[in-house]
Structure 1
Amino acid sequence: MATTHVFAGLALVAPVAYLAPELSGPLAVGAIAGGIAPDLDLPFSHRRTFHFPVAGVAPALGAVALAALSPSAVTASLAAFVAAAWLHAASDALGGGPEMDPWQNRTERAVYDHVRGRWIRPRRWIRYDGAPEDAVLATTLAVPALLVFDGWVSAAILGGLAVSLVYALLRRRLIHWTAEWEWLE
């Protein structure tokens, strides 16, 4: 789920936000945007166009190094964005494929590796987005962020958790309700 990726990004930056609370806002903005950004390729070639599970490591490390050497709101937000986007892309290999009904296991394509020029196979540890284990993971990843962030970030996390749980309850039914919307596939 997109919310799981957002919560993973927030959990990633939560220790830094705890140690440097003056950067918590920029870190949260960067982590939330970075957790969502790779999925902006849905209208294109999903999990290929904006997903960089291997090639994204170097930019993420570079952005984190820059933020460590020159901490500011801008560098912290940039580092959070790039690191969360990389984490999103890399973790997509742990789930199912990008198709609308990934529980059918019809593809061996999880996320594209631009470095090797091939698809990484799905590990299916999280069987599909919105699976019960995805809801549990999302909830677990939200906890560190809820302990560190407050204000609008906490409200966004609680709202995201509500969306996640409802989506997980309805996920497998959604494919039947949207079957006539072939343009989604």
Structure 2
Amino acid sequence: MLPTHVLAGMLLAAPLVRVAPELAPVGFAAGFLGGLFPDLDMYTGHRKTFHYPVYYSALAVPATLAALLAPSTVTVAVALFLLGAALHSVADVFGGGLELRPWEGNSDRAVYDHYREEWVAPHRGVRYDGAVEDLAICVALAIPLLLLVNSPLREVVIGTVVVAAVYAVLRRRLAEIAAALIRLLPDALDPYLPERYR
């Protein structure tokens, strides 16, 4: 789920606390945004439009080298953003499939690989977004972050965990609510709905 991705992106910046504490806040913020960015395609080709498991990873290598060789606000921000986006895109492969009810396991699509021009099948290490194990990972990522960050990032971490917990509790109900709402929509809107909602 998105809260897990953004906290994972933030945690990538943890080494900055020791090696370049003045750059840590920008690193945490950039990692958060990088972990968030791929899911901006939620309603426009989800896990395809902004998910690039190969390309984000490839771009993150020179960006990270640039940040190591010439650390600055810009190089650290770019590197952590790309690392967060890459981690998000790759991590989605280990979750459930791209469907309204991923716990049913009917989808063979996890993330689109633009390099190979094919969908990568879900590995289902985390059964679905919002599953108990997803929430456990989210909390596990939050604990070290709470020890590393100060306000206002501390409040961001706490708020993210609260959102994750609420989402995990409501996840299955949300799928039913979405399905019910979709049935109420006029047929003329069908072409505009994401495939997983049909």
User: TM-score category by the smaller chain?
Assistant: over 0.9
Percent same amino acid among aligned pairs? 43
- The structural deviation recorded for 1:116 is 1.1
Output the CA distance in 1 between the equivalents of 2:65 and 2:161: 31
Output the CA distance in 2 between the equivalents of 1:177 and 1:73: 43
Kindly indicate whether the alpha-carbon contact (under 8 Å) linking 2:38 and 2:88 is maintained by their aligned counterparts in 1.
Answer: yes
Kindly indicate whether the alpha-carbon contact (under 8 Å) linking 1:146 and 1:154 is maintained by their aligned counterparts in 2.
Answer: yes
Kindly indicate whether the alpha-carbon contact (under 8 Å) linking 2:13 and 2:80 is maintained by their aligned counterparts in 1.
Answer: yes
What are the superposed Cα offsets for residues 9-37 of structure 1, whole Å, 9 maximum, x if unpaired?
11111122333110112101101110100
- Correspondence 1:45-84 to 2 at 5 A: 45-84=45-84
Letter in 1 for 2:49: T
TM-score between both structures, scaled by the size of structure 1:
0.95
- Structure 1 segments (4+ residues) deviating >6 Å: none
Output the CA distance in 2 between the equivalents of 1:56 and 1:78: 11
Match of 2:179 in 1: 179
- Correspondence 1:134-145 to 2 at 5 A: 134-145=134-145
Unaligned runs of 5+ in 2: 183-192
CA RMSD of aligned residues (A): 1.2
Output the CA distance in 1 between the equivalents of 2:150 and 2:139: 17
Match of 1:107 in 2: 107
Match of 2:189 in 1: none
- The structural deviation recorded for 1:97 is 1.1
Match of 1:37 in 2: 37
Match of 2:124 in 1: 124
Higher relative contact order at CA 8 Å, sep ≥6: structure 1 or structure 2? 1
Output the CA distance in 2 between the equivalents of 1:98 and 1:9: 22
Output the CA distance in 2 between the equivalents of 1:48 and 1:76: 26
Kindly indicate whether the alpha-carbon contact (under 8 Å) linking 2:102 and 2:128 is maintained by their aligned counterparts in 1.
Answer: yes
Aligned length: 185
Kindly indicate whether the alpha-carbon contact (under 8 Å) linking 2:11 and 2:28 is maintained by their aligned counterparts in 1.
Answer: no
Output the CA distance in 1 between the equivalents of 2:31 and 2:161: 16
Bigger CA radius of gyration: 2
Unaligned runs of 5+ in 1: none
TM-score between both structures, scaled by the size of structure 2:
0.89
Letter in 2 for 1:80: L
What are the superposed Cα offsets for residues 119-167 of structure 1, whole Å, 9 maximum, x if unpaired?
1110001000000000000000112211111111111000110111111
Match of 1:15 in 2: 15
> 1:146 and 2:146 equivalent?
yes
